[in-house]
Amino acid sequence: MNRVWYLIKLAEELGFNVSRLMGKSANVLPIQKPNLTKSGIKIETATDKALDNELTETINLARNNKLSGQELEQSIRNLENIKAARNAPKASVYDFAKREQVSPEGIKTLIQEKGQIAKPGTPMGNVESRVKQLEA
C-alpha cells in the first residue's frame, strides 16, 4: 500500500476528517515542518485540536511529495503510537476483600491514604516515598 494512503488511513482511524482535504492542493512549503514528522513527540500532550492541525499540514505535504521518506515514515510511526495510546486497555481496580470494583472516588481516596501520585523512581516519586516512610 502506498505510504501516503496508509498515513491517510491512520488519520481516519483516529477520527480525522480527511475528506475536507481531498481536492485541495498546498504548494506553499511551511517555514517549519509539522512536529508529527519529527521523532520524540509527547503523545500524552497531543490534544485533538493540535493533532488536527498537525495532520492537516502533514497530509498536505505528503500528498504533494514535500516530505522526505524518513519524515513520512516518522509521521506514520507517530500516528501508530498515538493510535495505540488512545486505544490502550484501561485497568480496573478491585477490592478483593469485598470482591467488587473500586469506584474512581475510591481510587482517589486510596492514593491519598496509601499510594503515590508521582511515578516511583522520579525525583517527586522519591520524595513521596520518603514522606510516606517517615509518616509510618
Cell of 42: 509527547
Residues 24-82: tens digit of each pLDDT? 555 555 566 766 667 767 666 667 777 777 788 888 788 778 888 888 888 888 888 88
Q: Which three cell numbers stand for residue 58?
A: 502533514
* pLDDT score for 109: 79
One domain, residues 100 and 124: yes
Which residues are within 8 A (CB) of 125 and not within 5 positions of it... i.e. 6 or more apart?
A: 116, 118, 119
The per-residue pLDDT for 3 is: 83
Is residue 72 located within the same domain as residue 127? no
* Residue 52 and residue 16 share a domain: yes
In this structure, the answer to whether residues 121 and 60 fall within a common structural domain is: no
Q: Are residues 25 and 57 in the same domain?
A: yes
Same domain, 8 and 66: yes
State whether 59 and 14 are in the same domain: yes
Q: Report the amino acid identity of residue 11.
A: A
Calculated CA dihedral for residues 125, 131, 135, 136, nearest 10 degrees:
50
Q: Are residues 80 and 113 in the same domain?
A: no
Domain count for the chain: 2
On average, the pLDDT of the chain sits at 75
Residues 106 and 82 in one domain: no
pLDDT tens string 81-115: 888 877 766 777 777 888 888 787 877 777 677 66
Verify that 25 and 81 share a domain, yes or no: yes
Task: Residue 110: give the domain boundaries.
Answer: 94-135
**Which pLDDT score is estimated for 57?**
81
pLDDT at 116 (0 to 100): 67
More confident residue, 136 or 73: 73
Judgement on whether residues 26 and 8 belong to the same structural domain of the protein = yes
pTM given for the model: 0.54
Do residue 98 and residue 82 come from a single domain?
Answer: no
